[in-house]
Amino acid sequence: MKHIISTTIGVAALLAVSLLSGCVTANPDVYQPYQTQRMSQVLDATIISVRPIVVDGQQSGAGGMAGGVVGAVAGSSVGGRRDGGVGSVIGMVAGAVIGNAIERNATKENALEIIVQLRNGERRAIVQGMGSENFAQGDQVMLISTGGRTRITHTPPPAPRQG
Same domain (yes/no): 151, 122 = yes
Is 89 a domain residue?
yes
Is 49 a domain residue?
yes
Best CA proximity match to 145, nearest among 45, 46, 20, 18: 45
Same domain (yes/no): 134, 68 = no
The pLDDT of residue 17 is above 50: no
pLDDT, mean of residues 93-103: 76
Same domain (yes/no): 43, 68 = no
pLDDT, mean of residues 61-78: 71
Q: What DSSP letter does each residue of the chain carry, written as one string? A: -HHHHHHHHHHHHHHHHHHHHT-----TT---GGGSS---EEEEEEEEEEEEEEEPPP--SHHHHHHHHHHHHHHHTSS-TTTHHHHHHHHHHHHHHHHHHHHHHHT-EEEEEEEEEETTS-EEEEEEE--S----TT-EEEEEEETTEEEEEEPPPPPPPP-
Is 11 a domain residue?
yes
Q: Single out the residue in 107, 131, 146 at which a domain terminates.
A: 107
Same domain (yes/no): 144, 95 = no
Is 162 a domain residue?
no
Number of domains in the chain: 2
Look over the chain and give the mean of its residue pLDDT values, rounded to a whole number: 77
CA pair distance 68, 41, nearest whole angstrom: 46
Confidence of residue 42 (pLDDT cuts 50, 70, 90): very high
- CA neighbours within 13 Å on the CB side: how many for 86? 5
Same domain (yes/no): 71, 81 = yes
> Which structural domain, as residue segments, surrounds residue 47?
31-56+108-157
Is 95 a domain residue?
yes
